[in-house]
Structure 1
Amino acid sequence: MRARWEAEADLVVVGTGVAGLTAALDAHALGLRVLVVTKAALGDGNTRWAQGGVAVVLPGEHEQGDTVDRHVTDTLTAGAGLCDQIAVAQIIADGPAAVTRLRKWGAVFDSGEDGRLARTREGGHTAFRVVHAGGDATGAEVERALLAQARDGRIAMLDNHVAVEALRTPSGAVAGLLVLDGDGVPGVLRAPAVLLATGGVGQMYQVTSNPEVATADGIALALRAGAVVADLEFVQFHPTVLYMGSGARGRCPLVTEAVRGEGAVLVDGNGSRVMVGVHPLADLAPRDVVSAAITRRMNEIGDDHVFLDATHLEGSAFRKRFPTVYAACAAVGVDPAVDPIPVAPAAHFSCGGVVASVDGRTTVPGLYAAGEVARSGLHGANRLASNSLLEGLVVGSRAARAIAADRAVGLLGDPRKAELLGSLAAAVAERDVLQRTMSRHAAIGRNGDGLATAASVLEKSTVVRPLGTRESVEDAALTMAAEILLTVAAERTESRGCHVRTDYPNRNDGAWQRSVPVRLDAAGRPFLFERPVLGGVA
């Protein structure tokens, strides 16, 4: 595929979520020429849909007795033994400064009656430490502030261009990208550093809280460039996504965990509490626990949803605190003041991804990753609620500094020597088949037979196609990520965090308190290998 045009920069950032924009702003401030690329319109990523808030312990504005160390402990507990303790400590410790700077950039968070930041509590947290904006529109406010700052700084942005493949130097360093515009016209972006901030894999499933752009693009691109991925088997299902009917597909509205933080409880169709006796934190247990409990209850009673009862909140109070949730409920004829809200778990967050350090460095020179696309070691086997925006702010900033430092000491490749290596074609499964297969066999409650069936279905339904359109790039990425997930999920014969095996219901620390790294072999097929992974457990 011959490029029709070329452009140059010091850093290409792929994605306009919190991690990508933070990295772009900091790199620009450090004197780098930055180009931000997104395959959709600016702001169409996952960040804008984040409702709950940012988990952070701010000096002078935290609950009495809460500390950064306590936040670290809650994160490690939620991560079920697979967090990197050093990475967790570093990211959480950097959180207060990152949020303080975000406020200086113009982000406005909600205040309480005392004039200090309002805080709520979400699943897995032992304190009220989640700050929020617009009631339940934190992501939208964070994104607004970052985009405004980027535009004021005149950072170059290229929308409606999908990143297809990395350019690599003869030594294997990444030094640019091949991209396609909406009409499939190819172009080349040459830069000694590429930062992936492309989000997760939500569109692998029939129902998700993720927007349509969450198609694992960055994971596939990184793998083809020689990078390592890990922990893809840990897909967090949010317990409370608005139930839109049995035929619902694609993104469905989230009912933020903060509603339970304000006292709402989960009940089944008979009015019986779902979480009583399941966990000491009951309805505020970690998300993997709540989602699994809801799934078990639905199977027991033969239903496909449960209810979130928030009727204890007076109607105007609910509308003021949760305007986004209220509007979504009203659109389907539900009044949360008098009606329990129908909810069900849906694919929400990928805890794994491209193996990267807390500074965004991957195993490939010139390639960096931050945000949901990366496996930094923060989340382990299950993400603690509202740690994702925090991670994007912190790691995005750290990655910018790492890129500037690596460039200054000559560790990056020469973009003039970079070229495309390999064939621009990949195995692609039809998306509806993939989504139905993964939802049936690789969601909550997996087993060996189902995983084997899913792998067989995908293998039989894939064909090799050229990566000449955005759709083909997305479908190829989803296919590769699904294949890896099925392989590693079958390998991990235990239940841990978001990975629930009905045929291996117990956690097995003796054999499985470790991540399983994956890379592509010479033929472009994923294979598992055993060695310590960068920035994480062995």
Structure 2
Amino acid sequence: MSEPSLSTGAPVSSSSRSGGDDALPVVIIGAGLGGLTVALNLAEQGQKVVVLAKRDLGEAATAWAQGGIVGVLGSDDSVESHVRDTQEAGAGLVDEHTARYIAQNSAQAIEWLVAQGVPFSPDPSGPLGLHLTREGGHAVRRIAHAADATGKAIHEALLARARAHPNVELRARWMAVDLITNRHVKKSDGRPQCHGVYALDIDSGRVETLPARAVVLATGGVGKVYRYTSNPETSTGDGIAMAWRAGCRVANMEFIQFHPTCLYHPQERSFLITEALRGEGGLLRLPGVKLEGDSDDSPWGSRFMPEHDARGELAPRDIVARAIDFEMKKHGLDHVWLDATHLGEAFLKEHFPTIHARCLELGIDIARQPIPVVPAAHYTCGGVVTDLSGRSDLPGLYAVGEATYTGLHGANRLASNSLLECVVLGHSCVDAILQAPVPQPPKLPAWDESLVENADEQVVIAHNWDELRLLMWNYVGIVRTTRRLERALHRIKLLKDEIDDYYANFRVNRDLLELRNLVVCAELIVRSALMRHESRGLHYSRDFPHTLPVSFPTVLTRKAKSR
């Protein structure tokens, strides 16, 4: 397989183009950074694109990203340094080839975003005229950002471009039900192929058959499988579950990153306090606790991170999250403090305006008070196995972003590598789609709901949803044991049977589809965790506390089953 390259937008041959108005579109499931990167670049090449967003177009996980995006730009930086930091954070499971390819293309990714109109925070003396910040696990300042709302700035810029492009059709409040593969086609030639997708118009309740030249999964992660998460409502593992049902491999699902610092407040359960705040000098403290021998005179309590790691607050996320979890349990705390008061009000308002304003709305003046924080499920480091062009095991099916396993994140994602992966591999995915033979579409069957009825027990969905998320939080969280995992798997299988029965007998709706996908992902997480007999990165087991000298990705395989 040839090495993918970051697309420059150069024309492709006429044989690779989609042809006339009746040609098959590429269907992209998800309207975040990965999906929009693919959509805009395909559209520029004359390819018709349909983008499905199951909620409003602005609600993708990308818009929630605060910190920034990695770019190897400064004179004090290098590709080797970025690769080294990625490998160290990934705890021995990072694919070096993947990390190097993405680092090598990081500067071009930033340049492309600038060309799309993304308003990064400026610094006339900085590379490309941009201000660069530093986050945990990075050796130098290499994070391009738009104050503390980088994802929102990126998403709004790309959405504006997509809305204006004649080759892009954006469908808000449409949700993919399942992929259409050979098992749905009566007269199939037997060769595996993704032919399209069944999609639910959430407002009308109608399921439409969408034939496609290719389908791209850009659906994000599985954060909503946990009770506490920094993720938006969209993060229900839809792409991972659909690909698994279609027979694709998934890998490294045990590595769920818990962000160390989510705001602890009864009115705000999903507000992230960016790692960049610690990068700029924020300190973690124990509320009301003074450690023996501590000379710190802060009224907010003692620092504790130096006791856990020499890098203190700038240690990788898995270390910081475990340290917070340990200290909370040790001292019986509901939260810890993130103290940024010493940075000054002017600095905080300039660099962290979103956090400053939101906390102030909730009665917390971060220039004068510490911020109460707890860890929360944040990022899925595993997912659908793909190559560096987004190809999955199923021809015609591609995936980009958090829904994938590419080898970049290993056992723990390095901060701000996620947005970079979306852009770099989004470009190479476009090249792969355009270079693939254009399929001759078979006649696809319409969605059959002739034997189903309207659900009259929605309470069952709500109950199962709550039970699953609490189960995952208590048994499959930051610290795990084999007994907890086995109990979790037993209950998940019972829940899955209940949900599958419900799915088979009632008309689909978004809540049921999301629950169906979440329970699949929960099973994949637990099965992967039970297979790893060591502690590494984001997976910590009390029964296997040591890290093995050599380890490999956890890869799960299944055969596709009929509906």
Q: Same fold (TM over 0.5)?
A: yes
1: CA distance between counterparts of 2:109 and 2:387? Answer: 18
Corresponding residue for residue 399 of structure 1: 429
Greater displacement, 295-304 / 277-286: 277-286
Instruction: Pick from 288, 312, 315 the counterpart of residue 345 of structure 2.
Output: 315
1: CA distance between counterparts of 2:88 and 2:448? Answer: 43
Q: How does 1:221-370 map to 2 (within 5 A)?
A: 221-245=242-266, 251-269=269-287, 270=289, 271-370=301-400
Q: Is the 8 A contact 2:245 2:561 kept in 1?
A: no
Instruction: Pick from 410, 414, 431 the counterpart of residue 440 of structure 2.
Output: 414
Q: Deviations over 1:223-274 (max 9, x none)?
A: 11121111111000000110114xx78x510000000111111111111212
Residue identity matched to 1:242: L
Residue identity matched to 1:24: A
2: CA distance between counterparts of 1:192 and 1:52? Answer: 35
Alpha-carbon shift at residue 422 of structure 1 (Å): 11
2: CA distance between counterparts of 1:488 and 1:413? Answer: 35
Change (3 A) 1:356 1:522: closer
Alpha-carbon shift at residue 65 of structure 1 (Å): 2.3
2: CA distance between counterparts of 1:209 and 1:362? Answer: 28
Instruction: Pick from 144, 156, 167 the counterpart of residue 169 of structure 2.
Output: 156
2: CA distance between counterparts of 1:264 and 1:70? Answer: 24
Alpha-carbon shift at residue 328 of structure 1 (Å): 2.3
Q: Is the 8 A contact 1:174 1:418 kept in 2?
A: no
Greater displacement, 96-105 / 111-120: 111-120
Residue identity matched to 1:514: F
Alpha-carbon shift at residue 317 of structure 1 (Å): 1.8
Q: How does 1:418-497 map to 2 (within 5 A)?
A: 418-419=444-445, 430-462=464-496, 463=498, 464-466=501-503, 468-497=508-537
What SS does the corresponding residue of 1:488 show, helix, strand or coil? helix
Residue identity matched to 2:372: P
Change (3 A) 1:420 1:439: farther
Q: Is the 8 A contact 1:179 1:188 kept in 2?
A: yes
Alpha-carbon shift at residue 299 of structure 1 (Å): 1.0
Residue identity matched to 1:295: D
Corresponding residue for residue 64 of structure 2: 49
What SS does the corresponding residue of 1:520 show, helix, strand or coil? coil
Alpha-carbon shift at residue 83 of structure 1 (Å): 1.2
Greater displacement, 111-120 / 294-303: 111-120
Q: Is the 8 A contact 1:26 1:401 kept in 2?
A: no
Q: Is the 8 A contact 2:246 2:561 kept in 1?
A: no
Q: Is the 8 A contact 2:98 2:406 kept in 1?
A: yes
Alpha-carbon shift at residue 398 of structure 1 (Å): 0.8
2: CA distance between counterparts of 1:414 and 1:305? Answer: 57
Change (3 A) 1:280 1:419: farther
Q: Is the 8 A contact 1:52 1:386 kept in 2?
A: yes
Q: Is the 8 A contact 2:247 2:559 kept in 1?
A: no
Residue identity matched to 1:143: H
TM-score by length of 2: 0.86
Corresponding residue for residue 552 of structure 2: 514
What SS does the corresponding residue of 2:235 show, helix, strand or coil? coil
Q: Is the 8 A contact 1:362 1:369 kept in 2?
A: yes
Q: Is the 8 A contact 1:168 1:418 kept in 2?
A: no
Q: Is the 8 A contact 2:250 2:385 kept in 1?
A: yes
2: CA distance between counterparts of 1:172 and 1:304? Answer: 51
What SS does the corresponding residue of 2:28 show, helix, strand or coil? strand
Change (3 A) 1:422 1:180: closer
Alpha-carbon shift at residue 112 of structure 1 (Å): 2.6
Greater displacement, 26-35 / 209-218: 26-35
Residue identity matched to 2:45: L
Alpha-carbon shift at residue 419 of structure 1 (Å): 4.8
Change (3 A) 1:312 1:107: same
1: CA distance between counterparts of 2:492 and 2:23? Answer: 39
Runs of 4 or more off by more than 6 Å in structure 1? 420-425
Greater displacement, 451-460 / 349-358: 451-460
Alpha-carbon shift at residue 460 of structure 1 (Å): 3.0
Corresponding residue for residue 532 of structure 1: none
Change (3 A) 1:189 1:71: same
Alpha-carbon shift at residue 461 of structure 1 (Å): 3.3
Q: Is the 8 A contact 2:338 2:371 kept in 1?
A: yes
Q: How does 1:119-130 map to 2 (within 5 A)?
A: 119-130=132-143
Alpha-carbon shift at residue 192 of structure 1 (Å): 2.0
2: CA distance between counterparts of 1:87 and 1:420? Answer: 40
| Structure 2 gaps, min length 5 | 1-21, 183-187, 290-300, 453-459
Corresponding residue for residue 180 of structure 1: 200
Larger radius of gyration: 2
Percent of counterpart pairs with the same letter?
A: 42
Q: Is the 8 A contact 2:207 2:447 kept in 1?
A: no
Alpha-carbon shift at residue 522 of structure 1 (Å): 5.5
Q: Deviations over 1:442-479 (max 9, x none)?
A: 11001011111212222333402226111111000000
Residue identity matched to 1:136: D
What SS does the corresponding residue of 1:515 show, helix, strand or coil? coil
| Structure 1 gaps, min length 5 | 1-6, 526-538
Change (3 A) 1:500 1:8: farther
Q: Deviations over 1:488-527 (max 9, x none)?
A: 11121111111111221111134xx1112113346589xx
Alpha-carbon shift at residue 389 of structure 1 (Å): 0.7
Instruction: Pick from 79, 96, 102 the counterpart of residue 107 of structure 2.
Output: 96
Change (3 A) 1:420 1:230: farther
1: CA distance between counterparts of 2:241 and 2:155? Answer: 25
Residue identity matched to 1:196: L
Q: Is the 8 A contact 2:208 2:447 kept in 1?
A: no
CA RMSD of aligned residues (A): 2.1
1: CA distance between counterparts of 2:61 and 2:162? Answer: 18
Corresponding residue for residue 143 of structure 1: 155
Alpha-carbon shift at residue 66 of structure 1 (Å): 1.1
Q: Is the 8 A contact 1:168 1:421 kept in 2?
A: no
